[in-house]
């Protein structure tokens, strides 16, 4: 009798715990709208990047990595972190991709992404300090 009652209580507790996250998730509404707390008027990625097939998403990631590395390096070089410096046009990153990487194989693009990420990470903390001072981090 005690075991049955304990089992019933534990089952009730388990079910109530499962219901809490489900209830909380119902309040989340996914959106594709872009909204940013910092520098809200960021330029959009080039259209071809937004429409790239999933199997070629590594190309989009590479351009994003180029963009991030260039921007963080430019912030550190200039000592400036206004919105135009932190989030410039995608033109320069896109040009680097087109000039240096369009004919690369997938594995070469993945290696290039890794190299750009290392470059970005090398200056990230210094860029972050500059941007925090400017209120743009």
Neighbours of 60 (CB within 10 A): 19
* 97 within some domain: yes
What is the per-residue pLDDT for 26? Answer: 57
Distance, CA of 2 to chain centre: 53
* 8 within some domain: no
* 60 within some domain: yes
For the chain, the 3-state helix, strand and coil shares in percent, each to the nearest 5, are 70, 0, 30
* 56 within some domain: yes
Domain around 87: 47-134
* 14 within some domain: no
What is the per-residue pLDDT for 18? Answer: 55
* 126 within some domain: yes
| Global pTM value | 0.75
What is the per-residue pLDDT for 5? Answer: 60
Per-residue pLDDT of the chain (137 residues; tens, 9 = 90+): 565 564 555 555 555 555 555 555 555 555 556 678 889 999 999 999 999 999 999 999 999 999 999 999 999 999 999 999 999 999 999 999 999 999 999 999 999 999 999 999 999 999 999 999 999 99
* 25 within some domain: no
Q: Cβ distance 131 to 85 under 8 Å? A: no
Domain count, the chain: 1
């Amino acid at each position: 009798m005690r075991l049955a009652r304990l089992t019933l209580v534990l089952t009730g507790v388990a079910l109530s715990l499962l219901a809490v996250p489900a209830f909380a998730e119902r309040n989340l509404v996914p959106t594709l709208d872009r909204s940013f707390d910092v520098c809200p008027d960021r330029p959009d990625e080039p259209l071809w990047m937004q429409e790239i097939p999933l199997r070629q998403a590594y190309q989009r990631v590479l351009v994003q990595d180029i963009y991030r590395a260039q921007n963080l390096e430019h912030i550190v070089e200039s000592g400036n972190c206004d919105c135009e410096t932190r989030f410039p046009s995608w033109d320069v990153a896109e040009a680097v991709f087109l000039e240096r990487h369009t004919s690369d194989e997938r594995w070469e693009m993945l290696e290039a992404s890794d190299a750009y990420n290392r470059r970005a990470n090398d200056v990230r903390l210094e860029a972050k300090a500059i941007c925090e001072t400017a209120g743009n981090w």
